[in-house]
Every structure is written in C-alpha cells, then in structure tokens.
C-alpha cells in the first residue's frame, strides 16, 4: 500500500487556487488510472485503486485531506497509522513557490520551507516522506506570497499546468515503484516547463489578481 496525498483546501472557493494544485494532481491520477469512487474517510476524500508498475501492481490510497492545508498532516497521519505504512510509502503532492511555474521536483526529507501543509505532515510523520513539488512560481515580494497561492491560476497558466498534471499522472508508476529520479525526469520530459523570469512570474501573478 502506498498513500498518495494531494494537498489543498476544501470547497469551491479554493478550487482553482495555486495552493490546490495538489488536489488537482490527485484528481488527475484518479482519473488516469480509473480509481474507485470518492468516499469520506480519514478526515479526507479518498479513492482507492491499483496501478501497474515495473515491480507489479501497487495498491494506492489516494487522499485529499479536508482539514484545510495547515492541518493536512492530521488526516494523512491517521491513514498512515491505520495501514502501518512507513514515511517512505507516503507521497505528497503540493505547490512550491520556490520552483518556477511548471517545474517539478521529487524530494525526500528536509524541512517545510514555509509550506504549512508540509510542516503539518512533518509534525505527524517526521520528515522522511516523499514530496512531489509542483512549481507555481514566486510573486517576487514575500508580502505577496499569501495572496499569490490563494489566488486562482490565470488562463495563461493552462499552457503549462494542464500538461504537467497529465504528466504527473501518466508517469506515476515510476514513483509507485520507488524510482523518484526516473519519475521526476519523465514528468519533465512529458511536460517541459516554459522558462519564466522572476519578473514574468510577478507579472503573471499580478494579472491573476485583475
């Protein structure tokens, strides 16, 4: 059993937010691999499925915590304890402002880097879970970060957002087989990100507020 958790905030108000890119990734994975129907468990919306990997079929519990971002760890920690899975068997997808829009990186361990959902995960699981860091860019001013992540993606972002979500789902067998390096490379091969300067990122953020 592998737990795959997408981080975000519940409810239609937040549905299109940059902060909800983890929820979007979870939905794309569920759709791509034809997971079972949604149901409520572990303070989350969950779906269960099986994905064929190079090492054979892997059972997956897909979670979208409904605790709001800052308490995501409570939900995932509850599921991890129930199934007795190790931190290395938990993959968390979340937004990452320190990566340019469309960039994708896998990481195991380390700190939260200001991401409150990740901080909550660390409090429940320790640091050694696996993270799918999905770049949403930085607005250029630390005081604008809160508004940036809680604002919706701009239409212009769809040129990289939709391909990245598809790539994250299509290549997920590599992650489920434990090959994070291959997974990261495959996601970026399938969805090569456009290059953005910090100024362009800030301009895109400003447009999304209009």
Grouping H, G, I as helix, E, B as strand and the rest as coil, residue 114 is: coil
154 is catalytic: no
Token pair, residue 65, equals 């915590």
Residue 14 sits at φ, ψ, to 5 deg, of -105, 0
Going by their DSSP bridges, the two strands 130-135 and 44-53 should be labelled as: unpaired
Contacts 24+ apart (CB under 8 A), 195-201: 195/100, 196/100, 196/101, 196/102, 196/137, 198/138, 198/140, 199/140, 201/100, 201/101, 201/137, 201/138, 201/139, 201/140
Burial of 121-140, coded b for 16+ CB within 10 Å and e otherwise, reads: bbebbeeebbbbbbbbbbbb
Residues classed as catalytic: 19
């Amino acid at each position: 059993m592998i737990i795959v958790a997408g981080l975000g905030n519940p409810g239609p108000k937040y549905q299109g937010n940059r902060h909800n890119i983890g929820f979007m990734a979870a939905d794309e994975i569920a759709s791509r691999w034809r997971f079972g129907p949604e149901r409520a468990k572990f303070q989350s919306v969950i779906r269960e499925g099986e994905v064929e990997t190079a090492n054979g079929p892997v059972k997956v519990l897909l979670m979208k915590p409904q605790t709001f971002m800052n308490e995501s760890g409570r939900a995932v920690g509850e599921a991890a304890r129930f199934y007795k899975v190790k931190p290395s068997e938990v993959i968390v997808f979340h937004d990452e402002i320190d990566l340019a829009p469309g960039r994708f990186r896998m990481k195991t361990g380390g700190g939260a880097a200001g991401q409150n959902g990740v901080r909550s995960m660390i409090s429940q699981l320790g640091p050694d879970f696996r993270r799918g860091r999905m770049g949403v860019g930085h607005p250029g001013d630390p005081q604008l970060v809160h508004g940036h992540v809680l604002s919706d993606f701009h239409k212009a972002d769809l040129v990289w957002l939709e391909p990245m979500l598809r790539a994250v789902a299509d290549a997920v067998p590599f992650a489920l087989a434990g090959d994070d390096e291959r997974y990261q490379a495959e996601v970026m091969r399938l969805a090569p990100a456009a290059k953005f300067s910090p100024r362009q990122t800030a301009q895109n953020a400003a447009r999304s507020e209009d």
